[in-house]
Every structure is written in C-alpha cells, then in structure tokens.
Amino acid sequence: RIGSATSLSSAIINTRLQELVKLFKERTEKVKEKLIDPDVTSDEESPVASAAAAPVPPPGGEVEGDKPSGDNHYCEMLCCTFKYRPWLDHLKSYQFPSSIDPLTNLMYVLWLFFVVMAWNWNCWLIPVRWAFPYQTPANIHCWLLVDYLCDLIYLLDILIFQTRLQFVQGGDIITDKKAMKENYLRSQRFKMDVLCLLPLDFFYFKVGVNPLLRFPRCLKYMAFFEFNNRLEAILTKAYIYRVIRTTAYLLYSLHVNSCLYYWASAYEGLGSTTWVYDGEGNSYIRCYYWAVKTLITIGGLPDPKTLFEIVFQLLNYFTGVFAFSVMIGQMRDVVGAATAGQTYYRSCMDSTIKYMNFYKIPKTVQNRVKTWYEYTWHSQGMLDESELLVQLPGKMRLDIAIDVNYNIVSKVALFQGCDRQMIFDMLKRLKSVVYLPNDYVCKKGEIGREMYIIQAGQVQVLGGPDGKSVLVTLKAGSVFGEISLLAAGGGNRRTANVVAHGFANLFILEKKDLNEILVHYPESQKLLRKKAKKMLKSNNKPKDEKGGPGDPLIIPPKAETPRLFKAALAATGKMGGKGPLARLRWRLKELKVMQA
C-alpha cells in the first residue's frame, strides 16, 4: 500500500510539472510572436475585470490580476517583466501649473535666466550695432532673428508667467487665477513690461533698421534684479555671484564708453586728429582700450584738439571718477559681507589672546585655546550656533533641531515610548560643545548632571585598576550619561572617565532643562523614572555596608560555598587526604585571610 501511494504521488507531480512546462512554452511562443509582429494581440493584454468574483489563478500558479496597474509602465520580454519610464508620455501629459510660487519655484528661476539673457542681448548689443559698423545688409537677417526671439521671450513672460505668480494679501497666499492676473495688471511691473515692448519696429519701413528704435527693450530691468534676488537665495556662496555681478557692472560701463568714443571719432572723422580713433586694427578692441585708460584715469592719452573733443573728454573724466569710486565701494561692501564671519572670528580670537597675555596664562593653555578657536571655526563656520538660531522663530528652530538631532535622540533607549512633543521640546535645549584631544568629558566620581550625544568624533571610556585602560570607544551617534538625568538623591556619580579621542563635537542636555520640560509631561516623567530604576538595577553596582557610600571594594564579596561542596571538603579533611580537594580548601583559606 505504501509503495502504491508513493508511485501515485510521483505520477501526480510529473503530470503537474509537464503542465507547467507546456504553459511556459506557450507563453514563450506568444512573446516571440509579439516581438516579430507587434500588431498581434493576446488575451493577456486585455484582462476582463470582474466585480463579483476574484480572478481564478491559472494552473501555473501566476495570478493575472497581480499585473501592474496602468500608472506603472512595464514591458514583457522572455517571460520577464521590466519597468521603464515613459518620458514621452510624461512630457505629453505635463500640465503647466496654475500658480507659481516666485520664492521657491526653481522652474521660475530658470525662466528668469532666459529673460535676463534676452535683456542682456539688448543692453550689450544695441550700443554696438548703433556705434560700430557691424550691422550690414548682408547679416541684417541674423540680427533681426535674434531680436524677435528675445521679443518672444518678453511676450511669453507677460502672458504666461507673470499672470500666474502668487502673492500675499492680508497674510494669505493668493492662488486664484483672476486675482493673480489683476494683481499683475495693477503693478508697476506690468507698465514697464508693456513699455519695453513698444512696437517701434514699424519705423524700420521709414528710417531703416536703426538699433536705437529697440532701446525700450532695455527697460525690463526689474526682471534682472528679481533674478539676482532669487539666485542669491538658492546659492550656497552668494558672495561669489555678487563679485561677478559687480565686475560685470564695471565692464558694461567701459563697453558703453567705448561705443561712445567710436561714435565721437566717426562724428569728428576717423583719423582727422590725434585724439580720435585712426581706423586701424580691431575697432572695438582699440576703443575699449581707450575707454579703460580714460575711466580708470591711467593717463598717457593724446590731448583733445577741438571744442567737441575737450567737452567729451571732460565728461569722460568726471564720469570715470564717479563710476570707478562707486564700483570700488560696492566691491568693498560685497567682500566685507562675505568675510563678516571671518572678521568676527579674528576679533574674538585677538581679544581672547590679549586677555590671556594680560593675566600671564601659561603658553600650554593659550595654545589649547587657540586650537579650540581654529577647530570650532573650521568645523562649524561659527563660534556659537545658538547666536545664529536665536533670530529665528521657535517653530523654525524646532524644524532645524529635528532635522539635525531627532534621529539620534529618538534611538536613546531611555526616551523610547515618551511623548513625541516632549522630545521636540528637548531638542531645542541641546547645546553644542567641542572637546579637544585628550580633554576629559566627565571624570569618575563626579555628580552627573547632563547627558551627552556624540555628533562627530569619538570618545573613549577609561577604567581598570589604573583608570587608563580603554574599555570601549564610542563613535558618532552614541549616547552616554542618560541615567544621570533622572537619578535620585541629588545626582548619580560617574563610574568611569570619558576622554575625547581626537576632536569631538558633542550635544549636551542638562538635568535642569529636562526637569523644566517634564513638568508639562507627567506621564512621560513616570515612564522615565521606571526606566531609570531598571537601568540602575541592571548595572549591578556593589552596595557598601561597612564603608562610605562611595568607597570601592578592592576584593568583591565572596559568593557562598555550595553545601554539597562543603560536605566534600569536610570528608576530605577527616580522611587526611592530600588530593586536589585538599589543595583547593587550603587556597580558600588563603583568600579569606587576604580579604580580612
């Protein structure tokens, strides 16, 4: 009977395997047909949905209903399913946002970049085309093509982007389409945008293609200043962009002056006097060189001959002195703002060194103070983080503290299960402290009044008979001293020395701060008390009966000898044996004498 049952089960298994192989072959053939002729349809591509009953799985064990939904795009190949990104479909289904946040939307900043490029084209090229003979009938179609492309960008900015910008009214962010459009139409920005698109190009048919007719295009300066503000808000080192922008101001003033010099030379006649441009070499480079020497007042220029040349040169000198002084002052402000923190750090360090020299502090201590200043500044970029955050409202300080410290504090076993808001309040009380190499974070026997969280670096726990053996090394993310926050009896004494191994950045939570927080969370306070008691019991600290409360025992108390072992020792003594039990009994007597 057993043999027949075994053969029957083997036959069923073989039949099942043959069915699975047959199903896989059929599916492979269908996939091959689809690869050869994509128009061939299969039953799997259009499953029939049934609301009354669940789909029955096929014999192969696969549930057709488990296929991905329409939102996830997949392709099947050789019995496998691969996920792909439908970029073209996503691009076709993209909908332009109905409202745009001008402060945080990066797409709007990118669009402003194109608007500013079009504005720069007009500001830099209109003077060149007016003064220099670079615009000719042979290349006029190229100039006009780029001109009208810039006009198209201006027009799209008015019709699509500016009418969708959100604004604040009465403390509310307005996103209504009609309200946003009316707000833009009432603004000064709309008036300047319309003015810069005045269709003066129609005068081309009467006076010819004169670039000065496009001068109103330069009035879209408000987009340039808005782009500066938005770009500086997203850059990590905005002062670099400010330096580049100030340099561009200087270069543009020299550019305009070179164009005016060529126009004045053409008005007087090229090469007519020693003062005007003689028409040799590259006209723009030669005129730009003359503009640099004039505005910076280097000297070495030929003297003007006619009254027109004298007046032009005087105006150039006055303009150059004024413009150059403004540029130097602005550059000084930009560099001063960029190095304001460094200046503050140097002033603090100089004051501290002056104080230590006045009181004749030892050089070793002075060197450690200097090292602390340098490491703190280079690691944090500031001397005190609280000075930066004190200007922010409480909600923003909490958000920053959560991003920086919540993952570490939430893993502390003592605080697991406590009120989430209590942990948030605790995060705002953390203080950052930097320890130098071999600095003692805490010493054995001290009363613990704070908890430490390692932000960066390592600390070593020292112990042993000499107190210098490294018991364990704690790395970033570790927490120690948390039991001291809730220890009763005025505090808990530290049981080991903790030393900074290299530079260490620690967060400190003081006991008084935690007590102020727990007043508002009584349930969390009860839970923390229970956890603290359990942790203290698990430490198995020896309790002193004879000595003081903090006197350590050189030899810990001996455990009681088992009764059966005592009987064996007694029997050995009566028999006068000299085996291993007798020697062990003699050793125990020596230990008792040493303990006494």
3-state class (DSSP) for residue 274: coil
* Whether the Cβ atoms of residue 511 and residue 450 lie closer than 8 Å to each other: yes
162-194 confidence digits (pLDDT tens): 999 999 888 888 899 999 999 999 999 999 999
Residues 310 and 256 in one domain: yes
* CATH number of the domain to which 509 belongs: 2.60.120.10
Q: Do 134 and 265 reside in the same domain of the chain?
A: no
pLDDT-based confidence at 68, cuts 50/70/90?
A: very low
- Within 8 A by CB and 6+ apart from 212, the residues are 126, 130
Question: Looking up tokens 């006068």, which residue turns up?
Answer: 576
Q: Is the same domain home to 301 and 337?
A: yes
- pLDDT tens digit string along 448-462? 888 888 888 899 998
Mean pLDDT, residues 182-207 taken together: 93
Pairing type for strands 172-174 and 492-493 reads unpaired
Answer yes or no: do 243 and 372 share one domain. yes
Residues 366 and 396 in one domain: no
348 and 458 both lie in a single domain: no
Q: Is residue 38 part of a domain?
A: no
User: Within 10 Å of residue 540's Cβ, how many Cβ atoms?
Assistant: 6
In a domain, 409, yes or no: yes
pLDDT in tens, 546-574: 444 444 443 445 556 666 656 665 665 55
Rounded percentage of the chain residues whose pLDDT exceeds 90? 27
Query: Has residue 551 been placed in a domain?
Result: no
Domain region containing 103: 97-234
Tokens standing for residue 568: 């064996």
DSSP 505: E
Domain-embedded: residue 562: no
* Residue 218 and residue 246 in one domain: no
Choose the final residue of a domain: 354, 383, 412: 383
**Cα dihedral sign, 545-547-549-555:** negative
Q: Is residue 595 part of a domain?
A: no
β-partners of residue 167 are: 174
Same domain, 490 and 407: yes
Residues 131 and 196 in one domain: yes
Question: Looking at the structure, do residues 109 and 217 belong to the same domain, yes or no?
Answer: yes
Grouping H, G, I as helix, E, B as strand and the rest as coil, residue 506 is strand
Q: Decide if 69 is inside a domain.
A: no
Q: Considering the domain boundaries, does residue 564 fall inside one?
A: no
Give me the chain's average pLDDT, please.
Answer: 79
* Distances from the Cα of 316 to the Cα of 262, 308, 312, angstroms: 13, 12, 6
Left if phi > 0, otherwise alpha if psi is -120 to 50, otherwise beta: which for 202? alpha
**Domain assignment present for 15:** no
Looking at residue 560, its pLDDT comes to 62
341, 345, 347, 352 alpha-carbon torsion, rounded to 10°: 160
Q: How many CB atoms lie within 10 A of CB 568?
A: 14
Compute the distance between CA of residue 93 and CA of residue 91 in angstroms, rounded to an integer. 6
| Cα gap 532→483, rounded to integer Å | 6
Model confidence at 92, pLDDT cuts 50, 70, 90, reads low
Q: Are 433 and 508 in contact (CB under 8 A)?
A: yes
The total of other beta-carbon atoms located within 10 Å of residue 286's CB is 18
Which of 498, 522, 540 is at the close of a domain?
Answer: 540
Boundary (domain end) residue, out of 383, 401, 435: 383
Amino acid, res. 168:
V
**Are 213 and 283 part of one and the same domain?**
no
- Inform me whether the pLDDT recorded for 241 exceeds 50: yes
- Clarify whether residues 396 and 533 are in a common domain: yes
CATH number at residue 367: 1.10.287
Residues in the chain, total = 596
Q: How many domains does the chain have?
A: 3
